[in-house]
């Protein structure tokens, strides 16, 4: 048995972005919506733009060194982060970036135990490196491919973390039976009818014998992991 979280306080996630609209919808439905309505998680999306410099609220500029492409400027980022940190202390200040640590289920589990986190989304070429050197405490990538910004990655991380908070899923054991949660992929699942055309549900699932069913599910989990994610079995 893995204890995912012992403290039942509200988790707070502050997301900093230049494209708030990209995040509002993915985090506003279904399980994410329910988690917030129940007060189990609070997710705030902050627009960087009002922290921009001058009348035009400038937030990006060309990089030194001649490489073409815009970079989010150090000052607006510093100011928005400071304004959040003045209100409360944060356990992690996370930058979403393709060169970060690869996100996986154990990392989601660890993040779900935290109280307050900031997710900073880069855009264009990225952010002024001084923010990473001096303020960022953790860098996360969701996979070895490049997205046009950190927003979709932030939505992925937020979803994976929030659904783990106690009380978010209707049956709390269901997060424990997820793929990856015990280092194995989940077994196949079926619903009624027991037969559709010639397609039948495996006999054992209709047996009503919980021991047999559990044994079958475990065997399937191991088989599917061997076949589809053999490296999960290395550890
Ligand atoms: Cl976190 N950001 C961007 N821009 N691309 C990514 C990523 C993050 N993770 C994988 N690709």
**pLDDT surpassing 70 at residue 8:** no
Ligand 1 midpoint to CA 99 (Å): 8
Could you identify the atom of ligand 1 that is nearest to the CA of residue 144?
Answer: 10
The pLDDT-based confidence of 85 (bands split at 50, 70, 90) is: very high
Could you identify the atom of ligand 1 that is nearest to the CA of residue 103?
Answer: 9
Cβ of 70 below 6 Å from ligand 1: no
Q: Are strands 11-17 and 41-47 parallel, antiparallel or unpaired?
A: parallel
The pLDDT-based confidence of 154 (bands split at 50, 70, 90) is: very high
Q: Is 71 within 8 Å of 122 (Cβ atoms)? A: no
Cβ of 98 below 6 Å from ligand 1: yes
CB under 8 Å to 120, separation ≥6 — which residues?
A: 15, 16, 77, 81, 93, 94, 95, 96, 127, 131, 136, 150
Cβ of 15 below 6 Å from ligand 1: no
Share of the chain above pLDDT 90, in %: 86
Cβ of 145 below 6 Å from ligand 1: yes
Could you identify the atom of ligand 1 that is nearest to the CA of residue 154?
Answer: 1
pTM greater than the 0.95 cutoff: no
Could you identify the atom of ligand 1 that is nearest to the CA of residue 149?
Answer: 4
Cβ of 222 below 6 Å from ligand 1: no
- Look at 52-61, 110-119, 167-176 and tell me which has the smallest mean pLDDT: 167-176
**Helix-then-strand count for the chain, H and E:** 8, 9
Could you identify the atom of ligand 1 that is nearest to the CA of residue 96?
Answer: 1
The pick from 18, 98, 120 for probing ligand 1's pocket by mutation, whose C-beta has the most ligand atoms within 8 angstroms, reads 98
Cβ of 19 below 6 Å from ligand 1: no
The first and second tokens of residue 162, run together, are: 């929030």
The helix or strand, by DSSP H or E, that contains position 161, with its residue range, turns out to be helix 151-162
**pLDDT surpassing 60 at residue 35:** yes
Average pLDDT over residues 138-155: 97
């Amino acid at each position: 048995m893995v204890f995912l979280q012992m403290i039942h306080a509200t988790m707070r996630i502050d997301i900093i972005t230049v494209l708030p609209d990209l995040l509002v919808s993915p985090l506003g439905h279904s399980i994410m919506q329910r988690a917030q309505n129940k007060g189990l998680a609070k997710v705030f999306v902050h627009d960087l733009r009002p922290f921009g410099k001058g009348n035009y609220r400038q937030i990006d500029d060309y990089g030194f060194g001649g490489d073409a492409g815009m970079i989010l400027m150090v000052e607006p980022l510093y100011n928005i982060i400071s304004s959040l940190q003045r209100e409360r202390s944060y356990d992690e200040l996370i930058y979403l970036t393709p060169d970060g640590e690869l996100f996986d289920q154990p990392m989601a589990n660890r993040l779900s135990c935290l109280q307050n986190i900031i997710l900073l989304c880069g855009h264009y070429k990225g952010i002024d490196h001084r923010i990473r050197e001096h303020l960022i405490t953790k860098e996360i990538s969701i996979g070895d491919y490049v997205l046009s910004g950190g927003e979709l990655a932030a939505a992925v991380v937020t979803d994976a973390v929030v659904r783990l908070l106690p009380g978010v899923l209707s049956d709390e054991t269901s997060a424990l039976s997820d793929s990856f949660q015990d280092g194995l992929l989940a077994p196949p699942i079926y619903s009624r009818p027991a037969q559709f055309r010639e397609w039948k549900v495996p006999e054992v699932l209709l047996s009503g014998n919980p021991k047999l069913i559990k044994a079958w599910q475990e065997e399937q989990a191991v088989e599917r992991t061997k076949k589809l994610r053999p490296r999960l079995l290395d550890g």
